[in-house]
Structure 1
């Protein structure tokens, strides 16, 4: 399948409109219609209902494959261009919000990289690997939770190198008046009936259900930002619980006067917050920084950060 036709199909399916897709892609509506017709002819199947515009069953199945296929196509193109271009004078780093611990960010200084200019931007956890594979970033910093010393589960977006640079315990952050706030530790299965806060910087509720091996973990409030203090304010206001790295929770709680949030270590299941480095280049500034960050992941006590040097 022609990736250009596939991209047009995905855009039309997402926008539910041929004209809106044409505007987004910079084509005429006639050109978009012709590209969809060409793709349907190639497959011998109708992929879109026209009125209203919506994927057919075959179109729904193709959408399941389209995202990974297009990403792998971009990754292959970026890999070839990287090899041809040679070392870059600027290092673009994509990072999930909680992967940017102070000690890690200090390693991004131009002096440590031979004068290379560094640009850092935060993206959603699930996008970091794709940003590196597609060439949008030279290096990625991604966080998540895993069993101690186990690698994170990342999307298969192409050939990437990666390794862990930090691990630390997780804590349940809850209102200081909560009946469980005075416990020395908590088991996740004891919290399935609790009300949780949905926030990008916290461990996703879906992952909590997976770890607990069941349902529960209701949410009634969602926060779409990445400011940890706002998350703690929402917890203190009784909008739900969150699971955060110990150092993040301790630093935020410690700098908030009169906070009504408290953190209790998670004792079971035995999982940790882990930060990994991802890169595609075998040489150049990205590999230099990766080498500086490389060290075996170490357990980090609450209130501190771990990183390579």
Structure 2
């Protein structure tokens, strides 16, 4: 019979990328990790992880979400039992890069001040990954974009703006139509926000034809800084911009609402409720820098 320990070993190997690293996280030896995984693989009848390099197999990728969901439920059960102190434990929080850079430091400070026994482990991904992690149990809570009303406390509101070099003719001007940027190559990050950028082009009646699509925001900003094109970003990304780049408002923009949410289709970890309550009580719904100007 599959045990929780075997599942923890499997997930730890995938998350850390190695047997020794998984052993360090779990507080056990590399040989014990290897034995537990081998036993699990024997029970399921398939290899779950390639050994060199350590990469999840096709069968492992199919079973991984179930392993995560099982562990999330087990951890939540353990935290909810009367014998446990309900103010200590670890919560996995999924965030997008822009939320992680601008919102998470403030949230972590707030939570550490009022609930020092709750440790937060961050998982960073794009909008789709964050929602998937929350649904499957890889994350206990997440900062969600444009979630349904009532999902959780609002932690920020922002809007999309054009990002150009500071020497661009339109940099720092009044709000501009998206069409004014049509002659500039469009650079887009695939790590979230691309659906909104598509929608901005649809609203403006413009074809969506990115010249380059990259994942990392730092790469995207470096390309704009090198004069290879322009991009569109939410205002939460503003503090990440290097000195040579500027944000300019769009005449017809899209606004986002970012919410701290718990799972909608499974019981939430008891400690997540504490974080939601603290956030609702102490954080302004206008976000870290006040409302975004219209």
Match of 1:157 in 2: none
Q: Give the superposition deviation at 1:116.
A: 1.9
Whether 2:126 is the aligned partner of 1:124: answer yes
For residues 83-135 of structure 1, what are the alpha-carbon distances to aligned partners after superposition, in whole Å with 9 as ceiling and x for unaligned?
53234611121211111244542332544324122211212221112212222
SS at 1:168 equivalent: strand
* Matched residues, number: 221
Structural mapping, 1:187-206, within 5 Å: 187-200=177-190, 203-204=193-194, 206=195
Whether 2:175 is the aligned partner of 1:185: answer yes
Quick one: which of 150, 169, 173 aligns to 2:159?
Answer: 169
Match of 1:96 in 2: 96
Structural mapping, 1:290-301, within 5 Å: 290-294=276-280, 297-298=285-286
Which protein is richer in strand relative to its size? 1
Q: Distance in 2 between matches of 1:240 and 1:266?
A: 17
Question: What stretches of structure 2 of length at least 5 have no aligned partner?
Answer: 1-39, 47-61, 81-87
Question: What stretches of structure 1 of length at least 5 have no aligned partner?
Answer: 1-24, 33-66, 145-150, 155-159
Quick one: which of 211, 217, 225 aligns to 2:200?
Answer: 211
8 Å CA contact 2:161–2:248 kept in 1: the answer is yes
Structural mapping, 1:275-294, within 5 Å: 275-280=258-263, 281=267, 284-294=270-280
8 Å CA contact 1:196–1:220 kept in 2: the answer is yes
For residues 213-260 of structure 1, what are the alpha-carbon distances to aligned partners after superposition, in whole Å with 9 as ceiling and x for unaligned?
245232222332243xx43321121222211222532x234x53xx1x
Match of 2:213 in 1: 222
SS at 1:218 equivalent: coil
Q: Give the superposition deviation at 1:284.
A: 2.5
Quick one: which of 239, 246, 255 aligns to 1:262?
Answer: 246
Structural mapping, 1:1-309, within 5 Å: 77=70, 80-81=73-74, 84-87=77-80, 89-102=89-102, 104-109=104-109, 110-142=112-144, 144=145, 151-152=146-147, 161-200=151-190, 203-204=193-194, 206-213=195-202, 214-227=205-218, 230-249=219-238, 251-253=239-241, 256=243, 259=244, 261-269=245-253, 271-280=254-263, 281=267, 284-294=270-280, 297-298=285-286, 304=289
Q: Distance in 2 between matches of 1:78 and 1:274?
A: 30
Q: Distance in 1 between matches of 2:181 and 2:198?
A: 10
Q: Distance in 2 between matches of 1:140 and 1:168?
A: 17
8 Å CA contact 1:169–1:299 kept in 2: the answer is no
8 Å CA contact 1:193–1:216 kept in 2: the answer is no
Measured at CA, do residues 208 and 140 of structure 1 come closer, stay the same or move farther in structure 2, by a change above 3 Å? same
Q: Distance in 1 between matches of 2:89 and 2:74?
A: 15
SS at 1:297 equivalent: coil
Please, what TM-score do these two structures have when normalized by structure 1? 0.58
Q: Output the aligned Cα RMSD.
A: 3.8
Q: Give the superposition deviation at 1:210.
A: 2.3
Measured at CA, do residues 179 and 218 of structure 1 come closer, stay the same or move farther in structure 2, by a change above 3 Å? farther
For residues 142-177 of structure 1, what are the alpha-carbon distances to aligned partners after superposition, in whole Å with 9 as ceiling and x for unaligned?
3x4xxxxxx3479xxxxx943421102332001334
8 Å CA contact 2:188–2:232 kept in 1: the answer is no
